[in-house]
């Protein structure tokens, strides 16, 4: 190392120590948006990515009532037995993703956008938030 660089190197190493204290645990966790629902009853088995439903995006456009009362979505991730036939027949997501209210169903990738193997879940739900040792799978799932 050139001597002139030494001071800068020390400064950088100081920063490294700061970084150390700022990055505890170090376990990788998902940071997806609060309320994102992964729906994976059939997707993995059918060879498509799991569907991801973003609540934040939809609640900017619709009140809960439209989906959970008028369209009959039950308050339960994975609890509606949604499949593609129902969707193209205008039920569930298909009540809107029909090329009329929102883009149509041929945009598979926009819904089927989850990491393969991600289980059905509501992201950042209370259960997921309960502290768990960083190395357990539960924490990794966060």
46 to 85, contacts with other proteins by CB under 8 A?
46-49, 52, 54-57, 59-66, 68-71, 75
Q: By rule CB under 8 A, what string of x and - marks binding of each residue 3-42 to other proteins? A: --x--xx-xxxxxx-xxxxxxxxxxxxxxxxxxx-x----
Q: Cα angle vertex 36, ends 73, 65, to 5°? A: 35
Bridge-based pairing state of the strands 121-122 and 36-39: antiparallel
Assign 90 to helix, strand or coil: coil
Contact with ligand HEC (CB under 6 A): which of 25, 72, 79, 116?
79
Closest contact distance (angstroms) between CB of 75 and other proteins is: 5
Contact by Cβ (8 Å): 113, 52: yes
**Region of 23 on the Ramachandran plot (φ > 0 left; ψ -120 to 50 alpha; else beta):** beta
Is 78 within 8 Å of 39 (Cβ atoms)? Answer: yes
Q: By the criterion CB under 6 A, which residues form the site for ligand HEC?
A: 12-13, 16, 37, 39-43, 46, 48, 50-51, 53-55, 57-59, 61-62, 64, 66-68, 71, 73, 75-80, 82-85, 87, 92-93, 95-97, 101-103, 105-108, 110-112, 122
């Amino acid at each position: 190392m050139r001597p002139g660089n030494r001071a800068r190197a020390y400064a950088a190493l100081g920063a490294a120590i700061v970084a150390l204290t700022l990055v505890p645990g170090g376990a990788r966790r998902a940071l997806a948006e609060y309320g994102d629902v992964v729906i994976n009853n059939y997707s993995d088995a059918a060879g498509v990515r799991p569907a991801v439903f973003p609540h934040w995006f939809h609640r900017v456009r619709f009140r809960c009532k439209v989906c959970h009362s008028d369209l009959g979505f039950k308050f339960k991730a994975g609890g509606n037995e949604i499949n593609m036939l129902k969707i193209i027949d205008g039920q569930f997501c298909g009540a809107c993703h029909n090329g009329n209210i929102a883009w149509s169903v041929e945009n598979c990738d926009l819904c089927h956008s989850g990491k393969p193997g991600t289980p059905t879940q509501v992201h950042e739900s209370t259960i997921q938030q309960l502290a768990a040792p960083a190395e357990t799978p539960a924490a990794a799932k966060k």
